[in-house]
Amino acid sequence: MTSTKYKRILLKLSGEALAGPSGYNIDPAVLEQYSKEIKQVVDLGVQVAIVIGGGNIFRGVSGERSGIDRVQGDYMGMLATVINAMAIQSSLEKHGMYTRVMSAIKMEQVCEPYVRRRAVRHLEKGRVVIFGAGTGSPYFTTDTTASLRAIEVEADVVLKGTKVDGVYTADPMKDKTATRYTTISFEDVYEKKLNVMDLTAFTLCQENNLPIIVFNMNEAGSLLRVIQGDSDTGTLVTSN
C-alpha cells in the first residue's frame, strides 16, 4: 500500500463546482470525475468525509433578493446540500464505495441524522460519510460546516476542492504576475486578506490548528497528490 500523509480527510466541494460549465443543476460528468478521484484515495485506505455546498441549487442570500426571507432561504439552501449529497452518494456507490449521508436536519426516509460518534464509526469502517444540510443553522456556510465537522470527527486536514490551483498572491484571472503560495500561515492569509474560506470557517480551523489545503479538484489526480503530501499541488495553510 502506498503511504499517505493524511489518514482521515474532510473534503469540501462547492455546489457550484458540481454544476459544471452550465452553472446550475448537477452535471453527471462532474459527478463521474469526482467519484473516480475520491475512489483513488479510498482505495489507499484514507478515511473520507465530504461536505458539499448547495450553491448550484439555492443560496439564502440570493433568495433574499427575490423576496424570500433570509432564514427561510438559508433552510432552502441547506436542503439543497442534501440533494447534492444524495447525488454524490449514488455516484460513489456506483463506483463501488460504501457511503452514508448524514444530515444536520432530520429526514429519516432519505438519510441518517448527524451523530458525531456514528460518523466516526462509519469512517473507521471505511465508509465515505457525506455531511448534508450544513450545520443545520441559518447564517452559516458549508465552508463553516466543513471546518466544524472536520474538527468534530478529528480529520487531519480540510481539503478545499476548487477550480483554482491554490491560493495566489493576487487574482490569477486578473493579474498575470500572480504566483501560487505552496504554503502560507493563517496569519498571512488574514493580514493579506486572501480568500481561502469565509472568516468563520477560517477562524475555526486556525483556533483548532487544523490545516487547510486549497487545490484544484478538476485536475485529474490532484486529490491523490495532495493526500500523498505533494508540496507542488495546491496551497497548504497551517499555523507555522
Interface with ligand UDP includes 137 (CB under 6 A)?
yes
- Smallest distance from the beta carbon of 34 to ligand UDP, in angstroms? 14
Work out which of 20, 77, 166, 211 binds ligand UDP, going by CB under 6 A: 77
Residue 26 near residue 88 (C-beta atoms within 8 A): no
Work out which of 27, 34, 35, 55 binds ligand UDP, going by CB under 6 A: 55
- Cell for 235? 496551497
* DSSP, residue by residue, 26-53: --HHHHHHHHHHHHHHHTTT-EEEEEE-
122: Cα separation from own chain's centroid: 18
Contacts (Cβ under 8 Å, ≥6 apart) of 114: 102, 103, 104, 131, 133, 136
Interface with ligand UDP includes 20 (CB under 6 A)?
no
H-run or E-run covering 211: none
Work out which of 10, 35, 38, 54 binds ligand UDP, going by CB under 6 A: 54
Q: Is 40 exposed, middle or buried (0-12, 13-18, 19+ CB in 10 A)?
A: middle
CA nearest to 218, candidates 51, 19, 85, 58: 19
Site for ligand UDP in 187-216 (CB under 6 A): none
Interface with ligand UDP includes 147 (CB under 6 A)?
no
Which listed range, 54-62, 92-100, 188-196, 215-223, lies at the site for ligand UDP (CB under 6 A)? 54-62
Interface with ligand UDP includes 132 (CB under 6 A)?
no
Residue number with CB closer to ligand UDP (17 or 184): 17
Interface with ligand UDP includes 222 (CB under 6 A)?
no
Three-point CA angle 146, 164, 119, nearest 5°: 20
Interface with ligand UDP includes 217 (CB under 6 A)?
no
Interface with ligand UDP includes 99 (CB under 6 A)?
no
- Cell for 217? 479538484
The answer to the question of whether 168 is labelled as a binding residue is yes
The answer to the question of whether 172 is labelled as a binding residue is no
Interface with ligand UDP includes 60 (CB under 6 A)?
yes
The answer to the question of whether 13 is labelled as a binding residue is yes
159 DSSP 8-state letter:
E
The answer to the question of whether 138 is labelled as a binding residue is yes
Applying CB under 6 A, the residues found at the interface with ligand UDP are 14-16, 53-55, 59-61, 73-74, 77-78, 80-81, 134-135, 137-138, 140-142, 145
